[in-house]
């Protein structure tokens, strides 16, 4: 019992000294704001692959059980795999095991031989403890997260499956549920490497070594832990600061764009005013034109004197001068008249001693009429249905040069 008290006292002394680490860590300045106050978060949620760790260690254990006065220091090993979800909260699964021993006043399967010096039986058994741990990093919780902190103090609760078994072909085994508490100390050696000191007390049924009551298995191990994935945390304020900076830049760009748009809108407003004034002037001009009497095309054609082109004697084609006259008549009178307006083409001719016989002039007049008809339909695209060709040949004309004509009437 004195040895147990010595071990527990030493463990308590180490725990007290390590508990002071948050006070020391609180003096570090990497976790303080510009006013010197400790910043504790909040923090950006880490990704699934971030902040994992794996650790192994070795040390000692000491089994204490009701009704047994003396335990014996025995070897113990640890292996753990876990993840930090926030700078203060994490979980891990682990394995603890090797062997443990305790003195008994009575023989058993795991302690059949009498030690004559002590007059007691030394029980020996192997064990393994598969456990899950809930971790709470007090250093980060109270002193704020700091990536480069040397010492982190982490109390935790654990529970799991405990199995004990006989050594050297001893036919003994027992399975129990166990639980307890522990203190984990992480000492930062490098960016991804920590020295870990793990102090654990496990409470389990005494049946693990064929006893009644409760058994307690204190242990202290030391080893190394390696960080996997991205091993740090980003404070939300940092993220928000970056977002705010990006937003400020975007806001400046938008404000510049707004100024440019306002200038463009002002220019468009001036253009709109000028166009509105111009539209007003055009509207007045339209009203003035609408107030004027309309041009009566039909009356114009009804009142106008007949239009004509003249042929040289004996010719069925027009010279250049008369072709210009026909072009003018076709473009400015015939094609611009109403499409329903009929055009009468009267081919004049005369027969006397100077101009030929009646039969020849009749033939010549028809040729002149066809000549003009073809020009109007092919060159100027006037519908043939609008054109009526008539020949008038007289035996004698007062002025024969005026009878060699094609007269257009509507």
> Quick one: pLDDT at residue 287?
82
Distance CA 24, CA 188 (A): 15
Q: Hey, CA dihedral for 23, 25, 28, 32, is it positive or negative?
A: negative
Residue 309 bridge partners (DSSP) = 406
C-alpha separations of 196 from 19, 59, 223, 367, 409 in Å: 15, 12, 5, 125, 121
Secondary structure letter of residue 207 according to DSSP: G
Regions in the chain scoring below 70 on pLDDT: 1-41, 69, 237-245, 293-306, 336-340, 350-356, 395-398
C-alpha separations of 222 from 83, 95, 150, 183 in Å: 19, 14, 16, 12
> Quick one: pLDDT at residue 74?
95
297-409 fold: 60s Ribosomal Protein L30; Chain: A; (3.30.1330)
> Quick one: pLDDT at residue 194?
95
> Quick one: pLDDT at residue 193?
94
Map residue 119 onto helix, strand or coil: coil
> Quick one: pLDDT at residue 33?
58
Q: Whole-prediction pTM value?
A: 0.53
Distance CA 233, CA 230 (A): 9
Determine which helix (DSSP H) or strand (DSSP E) holds 252, and give its type and residue range: helix 236-291
> Quick one: pLDDT at residue 159?
98
Q: What is the mean pLDDT of the chain?
A: 82
2-234 fold: Porin (2.40.160)
Distance CA 244, CA 250 (A): 10
> Quick one: pLDDT at residue 34?
56
Distance CA 321, CA 323 (A): 5
Region of residue 213 (phi > 0: left; psi between -120 and 50: alpha; otherwise: beta): left
């Amino acid at each position: 019992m004195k040895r147990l008290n010595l071990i527990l006292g030493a463990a308590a002394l180490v725990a007290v000294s390590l508990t002071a680490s948050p006070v020391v860590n609180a003096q570090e300045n990497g976790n303080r704001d510009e006013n010197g106050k400790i910043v504790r978060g909040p923090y950006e949620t880490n990704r699934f692959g971030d902040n994992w760790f794996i650790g192994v260690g070795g040390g000692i254990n000491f089994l204490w059980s009701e009704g047994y006065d003396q335990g014996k220091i025995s070897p113990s090993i640890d292996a753990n795999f876990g993840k930090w979800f926030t700078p203060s909260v994490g979980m891990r699964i682990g394995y603890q095991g090797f062997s443990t021993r305790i003195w008994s006043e009575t023989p058993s399967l795991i302690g059949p031989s009498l030690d004559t010096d002590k007059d007691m039986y030394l029980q020996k058994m192997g064990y393994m403890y598969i456990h899950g741990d809930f971790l709470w990093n007090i250093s980060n919780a109270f002193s704020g997260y700091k990536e480069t902190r040397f010492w982190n103090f982490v109390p935790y609760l654990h529970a799991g499956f405990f199995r004990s078994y006989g050594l050297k072909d001893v036919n003994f085994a027992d399975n129990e549920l166990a639980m307890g508490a522990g203190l984990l100390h992480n000492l930062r050696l490098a960016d991804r490497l920590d020295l870990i000191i793990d102090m654990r007390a496990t409470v389990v049924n005494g049946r693990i070594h064929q006893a009644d009551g409760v058994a307690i298995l204190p242990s202290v191990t030391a080893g190394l832990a390696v960080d996997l994935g991205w091993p740090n945390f980003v404070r939300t304020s940092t993220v928000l600061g970056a977002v705010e900076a990006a937003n400020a830049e975007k806001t400046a760009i938008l404000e510049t764009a707004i100024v440019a748009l306002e200038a463009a809108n002002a220019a468009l407003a001036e253009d709109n005013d000028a166009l509105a004034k111009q539209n007003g002037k055009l509207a007045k001009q339209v009203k003035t034109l609408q107030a004027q009497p309309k041009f009566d095309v039909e009356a114009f054609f009804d009142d106008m004197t007949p239009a004509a082109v003249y042929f040289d004697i004996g010719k069925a084609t027009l010279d250049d001068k008369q072709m210009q006259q026909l072009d003018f008549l076709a473009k400015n009178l015939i094609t611009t008249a109403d499409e329903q307006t009929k055009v009468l083409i009267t081919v004049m001719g005369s027969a006397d001693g100077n101009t030929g016989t009646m039969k020849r002039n009749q033939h010549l007049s028809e040729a002149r009429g066809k000549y003009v008809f073809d020009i109007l339909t092919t060159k100027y695209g006037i519908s043939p249905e609008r054109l009526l060709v008539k020949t008038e040949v007289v035996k004698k004309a007062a002025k024969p040069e005026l009878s060699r004509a094609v007269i257009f009437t509507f």
